[in-house]
Amino acid sequence: MIRFWQKRFSSDIKTKNLAIDKELATLKKELKSEIAKKFASSLAIRMVDSGSCNACEAECNALSNPYYDLERFGVHFVASPRHADVLLVSGVVTLNMLPHLLDAYEQLPSPKWVITLGDCALCHTLPDSFAIAGPVSAHLPVAHHIPGCPPAPDAIIAGLLAFLRKL
């Protein structure tokens, strides 16, 4: 057993991917620069799950781990839409969540921006159901969409950067 650990610690980490790490570092640097220009170094996001499977939320939770660490670059997830700059909506809009989603949108300060996250927000992945009120775009003006099922954390970062460049 000791030989196993000695060999393991003497070898390099096998999960490193220098090309991906370099690309991610570039994305983070550009994201920080865009946030500094357009939002005074702090972008506050209120995330609303309007009826998803929770996969998009898990990927957004990964954005706060030490590898991605978006807090360091000025992206903050806030608890109240009144403190948010952007509303990030995941999942298809269900009838039960529709009034809460509209209420969160109304509480956003102006200018109001909505970003949808994942393919469910476009209703591409779910069959018709009596409980579904439709895609997010049927109820709110969507400024940007981040595709994927679920989108990976680096795709979410790239999507946020694309949104900031559109402004």
Q: What is the CATH number of the domain that holds 125?
A: 3.40.50.12280
Query: Is residue 7 a part of any domain in this protein?
Result: no
pLDDT of residue 17: 66
Query: Is residue 53 a part of any domain in this protein?
Result: yes
Q: What is the tally of structural domains in the chain?
A: 1
Query: Is residue 10 a part of any domain in this protein?
Result: no
- Residue 57 dihedral angles phi and psi, to the nearest 5°: -65, -40
Helix (H) or strand (E) holding 158: helix 153-166
Model pLDDT for residues 109-140, shown as the tens digit of each residue: 999 999 999 988 887 656 667 788 888 998 99
Query: Is residue 13 a part of any domain in this protein?
Result: no
Query: Is residue 2 a part of any domain in this protein?
Result: no
Model pLDDT for residues 78-87, shown as the tens digit of each residue: 999 999 999 9
Query: Is residue 12 a part of any domain in this protein?
Result: no
Range of the domain at 77: 19-166
Exposure on the CB side of residue 88, measured as CA atoms within 13 A: 25
Pair type for strands 132-134 and 93-94: antiparallel
Query: Is residue 153 a part of any domain in this protein?
Result: yes
Query: Cα 51 to chain center, whole Å?
Result: 15
- Residue 132 dihedral angles phi and psi, to the nearest 5°: -100, 130
Query: Is residue 5 a part of any domain in this protein?
Result: no
Model confidence pTM above 0.75: yes
Predicted confidence band of residue 9 (pLDDT cuts 50, 70, 90): low
